[in-house]
Amino acid sequence: MLRTAQMMARRACTLGTVAIAAGGCSMSQSAADSAAREALDRYARSYETRSPQRMNDLLALDDPRFGQFDAVSSGLLNADQARIENLILRNLSEPRMRFEDVRAAPLATDVVLVTAILHGTVGGVLPRESFANRATFVLVRSGGNWRIVHAHLSAADECQPAQDGG
């Protein structure tokens, strides 16, 4: 999964103005880990506070390379579709989210690949249920903040289900 995600991230990065330096980059592993923690914390807070605006601010929706694929949608979402999908956050009841097995890989000075297992609980229109997803994010630094330029979430059937409370 990591090798495929790295290839996707490299392609996503080279589509725009960011170039991947052959043989590595100047970002340290600790800086990549910090970027991953910052972005995933913001992702979880956006979900738990049911804030479409916070989620939209975290996603690099203004970046032409943006794309999101998740286990719920039927395909790759563009920025406008992601904005609409994020409105669903308002209807959730007591959402909880946490990330496990987080791994960050610096790809360029301002690009980080993150893989993790996302555990969450959600209620609302449907009965409360737990879920687990494999998550792959490509982060880019924009205006001093780390933003998600690509997100891929897929059901992780073999992962342990989250306990109630996230």
Residue 113: what residue type?
L
63 within some domain: yes
* Cα 143 off chain centre by: 18
Quote the pLDDT of residue 72.
Answer: 67
113: Cα within 13 Å, side-chain hemisphere: 20
Number of structural domains (the chain) is 1
123: Cα within 13 Å, side-chain hemisphere: 7
107 within some domain: yes
Cβ neighbours of 148 (radius 10 Å): 23
DSSP string, 68-121: EE-SSSSS-B-HHHHHHHHGGGGG-EEEEEEEEEEEEEEEETTEEEEEEEEEEE
71 within some domain: yes
* Cα 68 off chain centre by: 8
CATH for 38:
3.10.450.50
Quote the pLDDT of residue 27.
Answer: 93
164 within some domain: no
112 CB-contact burial (10 Å; exposed 0-12 / middle 13-18 / buried 19+)? buried
Quote the pLDDT of residue 19.
Answer: 36
85 within some domain: yes
34 within some domain: yes
89 within some domain: yes
99 within some domain: yes
Three-class SS of residue 11? helix
Domain of 86 in residue numbering reads as 2-10+27-155
Q: What is the pLDDT along the chain (166 residues), one digit of tens a residue?
A: 445 444 444 444 443 333 343 345 689 999 999 999 999 999 999 999 999 999 999 999 999 999 998 766 667 889 999 999 899 888 888 899 999 999 999 999 999 999 999 999 987 766 788 989 999 999 999 888 999 999 999 988 754 444 444 4
C-alpha to C-alpha distances, 31 to 59, 78, 112, 141, 148, nearest whole angstrom? 20, 29, 9, 12, 16
